[in-house]
Chain A
Amino acid sequence: MPSIRFHTPLAIAFASAALALAGCGRGDDVATAQSVAERFFSALQSGDGGQACAQLSPDARAELESQEERSCREAVTELQLEGGRVVRVEVYVTNAKIDLSSGEATFLDQGEEGWRLSAVGCKAEDGSPADHPYDCELQA
């Protein structure tokens, strides 16, 4: 059936292109990234340093421990974070940003452990936040 032989590769190509065009935020990724951020701030509120650290990326945990010269579970609860509820989630490929009601933002990466926080307590500096990196309380 020649038509199927010709149409199947085209269909695969168009499907791949459609997935790529929609790659700005697949539903599962948006929900998962939001859950990670909410678990982190909920853990901080309840003083559960272990649970909070589990939401950080390995590099963010290592950076915190290096910065504070203590274990992550001890240091994380003392981060100066305003937190707040999630007001916006943006996902692009394997990177995400979550805006909180306090005006702070958090950044996430998708790695081997799944979506994890790579920077928390981030505030935009003077100038356009698209041109200048956020100033973050903790970043990998």
Chain B
Amino acid sequence: MPAIRNHGLVLFFGAIFLATIVGQAAVGQDDFNHGQLAHHNDPVSLTRYVTSSDFWVDVLENWQSEYLQFTLFVVATVWLLQRGSPESKELDKAGTESDEEQRVGSQADERSPRWARVGGWRTRIYSNSLLLVMAGIWIASWLAQSVTGRIAYNAEQFDHHQAAVSWTVYVGTSDFWNRTLQNWQSEFLAVGSMAVLAIYLRQRGSPESKPVGAPHEATGVEG
């Protein structure tokens, strides 16, 4: 089936995303209820849990860091280079490159996306659309993490007979920044290590790797 073959990557990752978020809901509910019982509170149903801030802050703190990772990776690889890495452009290609190289405006052809051909503000926006969307999703999910995180945090505050905090106070708490930074460090480590490991290691057939026989110093080539 050509449709499945041509969209296999999206279908595969979409399927395992759904499977893992369902799994997260199940084990998350169990973990939450374990805490409820320890605090002499009553357990909640799965429906109650997946509509709770406790579930969604756990989801959103991961989503925002993934989209931050892509945001930074997209923008960093415009200007920053890594000799020998397939994740990097070639060493003489730093920057936004020429219209001819990017095939925009008069350099576009009939198969180019319309906003790449028309020029003006549309082309400027389209030329940065990947960054804009990734950054937008990152900011939106980070904001949502802060809102749901504050709700879950304040529930814990009340459980300990302490006062609730405002959103402004919450985004300065160690709870918010612990959730944020523990995710950021792993994302940055993953990207950095991928950029380095791919200099010396190979995976035959993957576009994330250089060809098996490519020299270590070859930069910006894909397998």
Contact = CB atoms under 8 A, between A and B. Distances in A.
By secondary structure, the A interface counts as mixed
A103 interface: no
Nearest to A106: B161
A111 B41 CA distance: 6
B180 interface: no
Which of A59, A93, A97, A131 has the most chain B CB atoms inside 10 A of its CB? A93
A23 to B, nearest CB: 5
Contacts of B41: 94, 109-111
B10 to A, nearest CB: 12
Contact of A97 (B36, B54, B163): B163
Nearest to A108: B158
A7 interface: no
B162 A132 contact: yes
B52 interface: yes
A74 interface: no
Interface stretch (A64-72, A75-83, A122-130): A122-130
Interface string B37-57: 000111010000011111110
Question: Chain B interface: which size bin?
Answer: 20 to 34
B165 interface: yes
A48 interface: no
A107 interface: yes
B143 to A, nearest CB: 10
Contacts of A119: 161
B169 A130 contact: yes
B147 interface: yes
B161 A17 contact: no
B164 interface: yes
Interface of A: 9, 16-17, 19-21, 23-24, 59, 90, 92-97, 107, 109-112, 119, 122, 124, 128-134, 136, 139-140
